[in-house]
């Protein structure tokens, strides 16, 4: 991942130093398990642990140099580790294992840690959303369908629905974490032909991973599930970002991204305050979504394994983890600093001359005895006039002889009552009480 969208926390999960450190721990634990079974001399297993090399940038460089000869990263890693430990003890490193035993176990370990970081960030974002929703539970605004004024809602209800969706994403990520927090040390085709299952159980316990039946590799539907969970989170972030971009348009002006001292919105136009965080989130969601498709394509491997998935995963697993973690954190920062223009929200709600109350007027006419089609045509006719003539919808209705003949004029107060319209808008806010925070 390019530095612009990486974070120190997720870098620590996916760095080469971390990757080789995990590989080394898997190898050492496997050696210790074999010692308990009597296959490896106890003193040699102890020597492997005591003389194991420090995994740092120098170690990474040594493996890279060796890989130029072996053209195989795990073989190069094993050579460097064995040389550091020294013979004869070092010869027991990688005993009975195949490369994927080490790589897949370590990678699932990394995915579990990445999922934990993402879940922590999602928890923090959810808390921010819940707070914002409750603060604006009674902030009226116009609801829009197809980009057109529809009926009144509240900003709090809108945010509450985002929070409820994010909570579902947390459940998906928790499930994906369970799916990837697994391991295998079962050999070249998963039959334990050269390594007993007790070794796998020993290592699994020490790493807090679950041993699972496998071929040469852990089944890739697990990785695809993780990538889908990332994509779903990214889609939710994009949903929020797109809405905020629309609400920030000059003609709407209902929200505004925070703007720090010294910030510039445009190199050419000093007046600009652009929704850059929301736009960045929208763009990065496309990348994460594409990675999910790639993960699904990795599920179908030849026989007990090929390496078509390997090169892909070196990119999409770290990148999706990094991007989603970055997006969730950036969205939280956006919402923490979000300006909400409640005055503009009310102005926009009433800017369509009361047309947003057309449905309660329609229902009032039906209650007064009109057929639904008759009522619809009365309302539509006056609504069109209100828009074309820039006149108040209610005034036109009061002047309409057909409305008067139905005796429905007395019901217009209730039909145009904003409080009545929003009386049940709290239901989405109330649903937040069922969310577990933190």
Q: Which two tokens stand for residue 203?
A: 């290592």
Residues in the chain, overall count:
438
Q: Long-range contact list for 173-178, CB < 8 A, 24+ apart?
A: 173/115, 173/118, 173/119, 173/122, 173/229, 173/230, 173/233, 174/115, 174/119, 175/225, 175/229, 176/115, 176/225, 176/226, 176/228, 176/229, 177/111, 177/112, 177/115, 177/116, 177/119, 177/226
Active-site positions read: 146, 266
Q: Are 35 and 42 in contact (CB under 8 A)?
A: yes
Q: Which two tokens stand for residue 314?
A: 């070196």
Which DSSP helix (H) or strand (E) runs through 286?
Answer: helix 276-297
> For 142, what's the count of Cα atoms within 13 Å in the CB-facing half-sphere?
27
In DSSP notation, 167-197 reads HHHHHHHHHHHHHHSEE----TTSS-SSS-H
SS3 152: strand
Which residue is associated with the tokens 């937040």?
432
Q: Of 92, 84, 109, nearest to 27 (Cα)?
A: 92
Which DSSP helix (H) or strand (E) runs through 370?
Answer: none
Beta-bridge partners for 154: 140
- Torsion angle defined by CA atoms of residues 153, 155, 158 and 160, in that order, rounded to the nearest 10 degrees: -120
Rounded distance, CA 236 to CA 241, Å? 9
CA 308 to each of CA 131, 213, 220: distance values in angstroms, whole numbers, following the listed order: 45, 21, 11
């Amino acid at each position: 991942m390019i530095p612009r969208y990486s974070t120190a926390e997720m870098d620590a999960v996916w760095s080469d130093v971390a990757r080789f450190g995990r590989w080394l721990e898997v190898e050492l634990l496997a050696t210790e398990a074999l010692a308990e079974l009597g296959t490896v001399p106890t003193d040699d297993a102890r020597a492997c642990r005591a003389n194991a090399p420090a995994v740092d940038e120098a170690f990474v460089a040594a493996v890279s140099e060796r890989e130029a000869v072996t053209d195989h990263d795990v073989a190069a890693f094993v050579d460097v580790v064995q040389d550091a430990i020294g013979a004869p003890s070092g010869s027991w490193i990688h005993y009975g294992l195949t490369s994927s035993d080490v790589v897949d176990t370590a990678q699932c370990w990394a995915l579990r840690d990445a999922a934990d970081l993402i879940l922590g960030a999602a928890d923090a974002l959810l808390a921010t959303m819940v707070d914002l929703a409750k603060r604006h539970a009674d902030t009226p605004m116009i609801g829009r369908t197809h980009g057109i004024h529809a009926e009144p809602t509240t900003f709090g209800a809108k945010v509450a629905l985002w929070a409820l969706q994010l909570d579902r994403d947390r459940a998906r990520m928790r499930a994906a974490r369970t799916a990837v927090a697994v391991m295998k040390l079962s050999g070249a085709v998963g039959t334990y032909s050269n390594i007993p299952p007790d070794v796998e159980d020993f290592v699994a316990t020490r790493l807090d991973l679950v041993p699972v039946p496998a071929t040469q590799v852990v089944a890739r539907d697990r990785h695809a599930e993780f990538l889908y969970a990332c994509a779903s989170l990214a889609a939710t972030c994009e949903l929020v970002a797109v809405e905020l971009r629309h609400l920030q348009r000059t003609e709407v002006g209902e929200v505004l991204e925070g703007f720090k001292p010294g910030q510039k919105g445009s190199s050419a136009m000093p007046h600009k305050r652009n929704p850059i965080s929301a736009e960045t989130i929208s763009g990065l969601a496309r990348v994460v979504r594409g990675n999910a498709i790639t993960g699904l394509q990795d599920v179908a491997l030849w026989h007990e394994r090929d390496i078509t998935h390997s090169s892909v995963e070196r990119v999409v697993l770290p990148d999706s983890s990094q991007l989603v973690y970055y997006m969730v954190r950036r969205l939280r920062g956006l919402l923490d600093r979000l300006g909400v223009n409640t005055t503009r929200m009310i102005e926009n709600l009433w800017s369509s001359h009361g047309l947003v109350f057309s449905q309660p007027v329609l229902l009032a006419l039906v209650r007064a005895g009109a057929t639904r089609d008759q009522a619809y045509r009365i309302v539509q006719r006056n609504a069109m006039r209100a828009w074309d003539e820039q006149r108040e919808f209610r005034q036109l209705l009061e002047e309409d002889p057909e409305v008067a003949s139905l005796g429905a004029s007395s019901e217009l107060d209730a039909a145009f009552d904003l409080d009545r319209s929003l009386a049940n808008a709290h239901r989405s806010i109330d649903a937040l009480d069922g969310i577990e925070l933190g």
